[in-house]
Structure formats: C-alpha cells, structure tokens
C-alpha cells in the first residue's frame, strides 16, 4: 500500500517536472496517490548556499566558488565550488557517527522519500532555547494524528528558521561560546527509531540541542541506520501530518554527508 503510494508519487513528480519544463501546470492524467496533481503544492525546504549563511563554528568562510569559464573568454559560464559536507541545508549520512555505516552515496533511494511527521515545538523553544523534544510530546502527536508511520521523516519545527540568516542569533552562543538552540532528546530519538522512522530533521544547526557536548542523539539514530536533515527551511509551511518529503542529497562517493535539496509535497494548494 505504502509502496504503491510512493511509486505513484514519484511518477507524479516526474510528470510535474516534465510538465513545468514548457508550460505552467496543465491538467494531466497523473495523480498523486489518488489526488490530482493540480491539487498539490510543493514546498522547498532548502536554503540557498552561499558564503554568508550561518555555519557550524569553524566552517565559516569554508564555502568558495571560482569562475572557471566566462562567456567572454569561453563562450559559456561555469564555476567550481568547494564546501564542507555539513554546511547549509544538508544530510548527515549514518557513517558520520560510527558505528553508523552507510556513506551518503549508499543510502538506498527508497529511504530518501517518506511521509512527513512535523512536531511543532515553537512555543516550548521560545520559552527555553535549550528545549529537547520529549517522549510525551511525541505521544501527543500520535494522539492527534495516529501512530508515526513506518518510514517517516520526522521533522522538528522549532521556529529557529525565523533567525536565519543571522548567524549570531541562529547559533545563540553565550559568553563562553556554548550554543543554545533546541533539539531532539535521546529518549525521543529512541522512540522514533523504534517506530521505523528513516530520518530526523530540524530547522537548526543540529538535531542535538546546542549545549550538547557529545552529539548524543547523533550517536543513537545514525548507528541505527537513520540519516539527519539539518538547517531545514520553510517548515512553517507544512501541516503536522499529510505531507510527503523527498530528500535528494549529493551522491558523493564515501561522503559523511552533503548538501541536500529537500522538498515537501502537500496534498492541497493551501499554504499553512
Ligand atoms: Zn550534519
């Protein structure tokens, strides 16, 4: 059932991409899991990459571009670029924290697509920047929307995106340099792993809260085979349930992670 739905979603997306190439969305014979594609809405959960975006401490100024061809000299325009694997909107592959194994190119494509579970903790994070998602809050989501579906991509909406691209406010470091932003707790991560989630995502620098000394949530979910999505944009446009996410990472051989384009497909045209 889920697989059939996923397949029809992928087919519908391909059709959307083709249709949008030459004409604005015309009605097509494709449907998105039974929903006509003209009734869907795509949200880009990705920030544009530049040298000016908030970075993990030490990664500032690590993004570079160089023009390697110009229309004047070469007849066309091209650049090279270099950047850390964990910069901007990006994916952590399981191999980022051994004994997690898979490198970013090895994550099976079917795991890069799944139902979005959006847990909204904006109120909690506004009161306490060191807030960590508790198991009770996951249970509250399940009481409202049903059990977290197998294969879910679980997204924590903390409201931190409102601080982007102000690096100082996004990091929210204190005088001693310790950062303060919300994240998952180890207990909640264990529960989400047990539910069969394929990924944890967040609108901050890390799925671990800012003061974490040892990335304890990374050490739970990546060795269990999940991947992470960090620095996600536009989570405020998603419903708490009912959207689907596609995470399309760079297929970098041997990579511990990498820049990732992340899309959400909503089964209606209303912005949330
Ligand atoms: Zn990362």
136 CA → ligand 1 middle, Å? 26
Residue 125 is encoded by which pair of tokens? 């994070």
CA distance 24 to 192: 39
Do 97 and 142 have their domain in common? Answer: yes
In a domain, 58, yes or no: yes
Length, in residues, of the chain: 272
Residue 44 is encoded by which pair of tokens? 């880009």
Give 36's pLDDT tier (boundaries 50, 70, 90): low
Is 29's pLDDT higher than 50? no
Do 80 and 9 have their domain in common? Answer: no
CA atoms lying within 13 Å on the CB side of residue 84: 18
In a domain, 95, yes or no: yes
pLDDT digits (tens, 9 = 90+) for 197-217: 999 999 999 999 999 999 999
| Contact (CB, 8 A) for 228 and 192 | no
Do 5 and 82 have their domain in common? Answer: no
In a domain, 213, yes or no: yes
Do 19 and 44 have their domain in common? Answer: no
Find the domain containing 89 and state its range: 40-266
Residue 238 is encoded by which pair of tokens? 């998603």
Q: Which CATH number does the domain housing residue 132 bear?
A: 3.50.30.50
Is 270's pLDDT higher than 70? no
In a domain, 4, yes or no: yes
Do 5 and 97 have their domain in common? Answer: no
Do 129 and 184 have their domain in common? Answer: yes
Give 232's pLDDT tier (boundaries 50, 70, 90): very high
85 CA → ligand 1 middle, Å? 8
- Tally of domains within the chain: 2
In a domain, 140, yes or no: yes
Do 5 and 60 have their domain in common? Answer: no
In a domain, 271, yes or no: no
Do 82 and 10 have their domain in common? Answer: no
User: Terminus-to-terminus CA distance in the chain, angstroms?
Assistant: 27
In a domain, 181, yes or no: yes
138 CA → ligand 1 middle, Å? 23
153 CA → ligand 1 middle, Å? 16
What percent of the chain has a predicted confidence (pLDDT) above 90?
82
pLDDT digits (tens, 9 = 90+) for 55-95: 999 999 999 999 999 999 999 999 999 999 999 999 999 99
User: Which among 240, 272, 265, 245 is positioned nearest to 91, based on CA atoms?
Assistant: 245
User: Which among 65, 60, 81 is positioned nearest to 167, based on CA atoms?
Assistant: 60
Do 27 and 155 have their domain in common? Answer: no
Q: What is the pLDDT of residue 28?
A: 47
Q: What is the pLDDT of residue 31?
A: 54
Give 17's pLDDT tier (boundaries 50, 70, 90): very low
Do 174 and 89 have their domain in common? Answer: yes
184 CA → ligand 1 middle, Å? 14
| Contact (CB, 8 A) for 217 and 183 | yes
Do 9 and 75 have their domain in common? Answer: no
User: Which among 153, 166, 158 is positioned nearest to 131, based on CA atoms?
Assistant: 158
User: Which among 206, 203, 127, 210 is positioned nearest to 176, based on CA atoms?
Assistant: 210
230 CA → ligand 1 middle, Å? 6
**Which residues are catalytic, by number?**
96
In a domain, 172, yes or no: yes
Give 30's pLDDT tier (boundaries 50, 70, 90): low
How far CA 173 is from CA of 52, 59, 87, 109, 178, in Å, comes to 18, 15, 18, 37, 5
Do 208 and 145 have their domain in common? Answer: yes
């Amino acid at each position: 059932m889920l697989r059939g739905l996923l397949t029809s979603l992928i087919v519908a997306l391909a059709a959307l991409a083709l249709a949008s190439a030459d004409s604005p969305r015309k009605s097509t014979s494709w449907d998105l899991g039974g929903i006509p594609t003209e009734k869907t809405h795509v949200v880009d959960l990705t920030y544009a990459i530049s040298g000016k975006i908030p970075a993990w401490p030490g990664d500032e100024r690590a993004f570079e571009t160089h023009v390697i061809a110009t229309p004047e000299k070469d007849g066309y325009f091209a650049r090279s670029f270099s950047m850390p694997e964990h910069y901007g909107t990006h994916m952590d592959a399981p191999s980022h924290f051994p004994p997690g194994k898979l490198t970013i190119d090895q994550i099976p494509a079917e795991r890069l697509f799944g139902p979005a579970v959006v847990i909204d903790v904006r109120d909690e994070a506004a009161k306490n920047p060191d807030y960590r998602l508790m198991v009770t809050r996951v249970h509250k989501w399940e009481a409202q929307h049903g059990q977290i579906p197998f294969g879910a991509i679980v997204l924590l909406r903390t409201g931190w995106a409102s601080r982007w691209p102000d690096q100082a406010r996004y990091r929210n470091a204190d005088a001693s340099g310790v950062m303060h932003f919300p994240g998952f707790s180890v207990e909640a991560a264990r529960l989400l792993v047990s539910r069969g989630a394929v990924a944890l995502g967040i609108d901050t620098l890390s799925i671990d809260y800012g003061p974490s000394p040892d990335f304890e949530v990374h050490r739970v979910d990546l060795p269990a085979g999940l991947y992470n999505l960090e620095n996600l944009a536009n989570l405020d446009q998603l419903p708490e349930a009912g959207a689907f996410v596609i995470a399309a990472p760079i297929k970098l051989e041997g990579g511990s992670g990498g820049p990732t384009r992340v899309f959400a497909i909503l089964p209606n045209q209303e912005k949330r």
